[in-house]
């Protein structure tokens, strides 16, 4: 028998229900749809939705009565001291990588079975590819997600692969498992972009050396230029790993400043 909750806060529960419901909707919902979706009446959630809008957690689509979840919760999460410190330490190393390799760079962390971009550095040249902060993808669908998975604990890897098997089938899970083993062998992730031709994603792990846990991935979307044939992926991956290792040492208080 499920244990009864020790305490009840109905108003808070309604607010959390609204946030969780909208987090799964890309195109927004109106008051009636939200109420129906969480099993409440319009009257029960009207004031709560208004307060969430006033506090910036939800927003209305222009000229519409549909509500969308904003990125305020995401931004609040980034204010946690550990994540803030990680980003502060990573940016100088990412800037050095971008300058050396003429490529953009971003830092991703795991949230559930997804990766999310928490900070980025643009390419110093006029043409390049970058990924917006807040961008999310399933772990199996991004070089950063695969990298983080590959250097997670064995039980976590098993659970993530099982989730892929459940949602995408045995063939995709087998391909994912094979990719994980390749990443573990070479020390970084290399993945052709699934949306565009001519882009390869490279990703290197960032560790908390004290716990030996992979806490993030430093990633560069490498653009292959038509008129050039000198994109040395191994060299770029080597520099990416070097700077990711620098962040690992700094985060774990094993170093003082990026080299």
In this structure, what CATH number is given to the domain that contains residue 19? 1.10.10.10
- 64 and 89 housed in the same domain: no
Q: Strand, helix or coil at 90?
A: helix
The H or E element spanning position 117 is strand 114-121
The per-residue pLDDT for 259 is: 40
In a domain, 144, yes or no: yes
111 compared with 172, residue with greater pLDDT: 172
- 60 and 141 housed in the same domain: no
The per-residue pLDDT for 251 is: 86
pTM: 0.70
Tens-place pLDDT, residues 96-145 = 999 999 889 999 999 888 898 999 999 888 766 778 888 888 999 999 99
Domain that includes residue 140, residue range: 79-251
The per-residue pLDDT for 2 is: 54
Q: How far is CA 3 from the centre of its chain?
A: 34
Of 238, 237, 245, 244, the closest CA to residue 221 belongs to 237
Radius of gyration in angstroms for the set of CA atoms belonging to the chain, rounded to a whole number = 21
Asked whether 58 and 49 are in contact (CB, 8 A), the reply is yes
CA distance 26 to 136: 13
In a domain, 140, yes or no: yes
- 56 and 148 housed in the same domain: no
Residue whose entry in the numeric block shows the structure tokens 């390419």: 123
Tens-place pLDDT, residues 28-75 = 888 898 988 888 888 888 888 888 888 888 888 887 888 888 777 777
User: How would you classify residue 212: left for phi > 0, otherwise alpha for psi between -120 and 50, otherwise beta?
Assistant: left
- 163 and 102 housed in the same domain: yes
User: How is residue 106 written in tokens?
Assistant: 């971003």
CA distance 238 to 259: 15
Which of 69, 89, 112 lies at the terminal end of a domain, its last residue? 69
- 153 and 201 housed in the same domain: yes
Q: How many distinct structural domains can be found in the chain?
A: 2
The per-residue pLDDT for 257 is: 41
- 142 and 86 housed in the same domain: yes
- 126 and 244 housed in the same domain: yes
CA distance 222 to 130: 9
Where are the extended beta strands (E) located within 55-111? 58-60, 67-69, 105-111
CA distance 9 to 11: 6
Rounding to the nearest 10 degrees, give the CA dihedral for residues 144, 190, 147, 149. 110
Tens-place pLDDT, residues 174-233 = 999 999 999 999 999 999 875 555 688 999 999 988 888 899 999 998 877 555 444 788
In a domain, 74, yes or no: no
- 110 and 216 housed in the same domain: yes
């Amino acid at each position: 028998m499920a244990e009864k909750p020790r305490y009840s806060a109905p108003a808070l529960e309604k607010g959390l229900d609204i946030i969780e419901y909208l987090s799964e909707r890309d195109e927004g919902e109106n008051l009636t749809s939200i109420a129906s979706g969480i099993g409440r009446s319009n009257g029960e959630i009207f004031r709560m939705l208004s307060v969430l809008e006033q506090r910036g957690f939800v927003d209305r689509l222009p000229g519409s009565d549909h509500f969308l979840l904003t990125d305020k919760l995401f931004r609040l999460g980034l204010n946690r001291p550990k994540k803030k410190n990680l980003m502060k330490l990573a940016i100088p190393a990412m800037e050095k990588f971008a300058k050396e390799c003429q490529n953009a760079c971003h830092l991703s962390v795991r949230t559930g079975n997804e990766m999310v971009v928490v900070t980025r550095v643009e390419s110093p040249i006029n043409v390049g590819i970058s990924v917006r902060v807040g961008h999310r993808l399933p772990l199996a669908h991004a070089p950063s997600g695969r990298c983080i998975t590959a250097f997670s604990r064995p039980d976590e890897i098993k659970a993530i692969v099982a989730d892929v098997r459940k949602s995408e089938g045995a063939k995709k899970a087998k391909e994912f498992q094979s990719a994980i083993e390749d990443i573990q062998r070479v020390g970084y992730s290399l993945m052709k972009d699934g949306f565009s031709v001519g882009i390869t994603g490279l990703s290197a792990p960032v560790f908390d050396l004290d716990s030996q846990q992979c806490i993030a991935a430093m990633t560069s979307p490498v653009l292959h230029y038509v008129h050039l044939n000198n994109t040395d992926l191994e060299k770029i991956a080597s520099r990416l790993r070097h700077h990711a290792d620098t962040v690992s040492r700094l985060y774990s208080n094993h170093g003082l400043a990026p080299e």
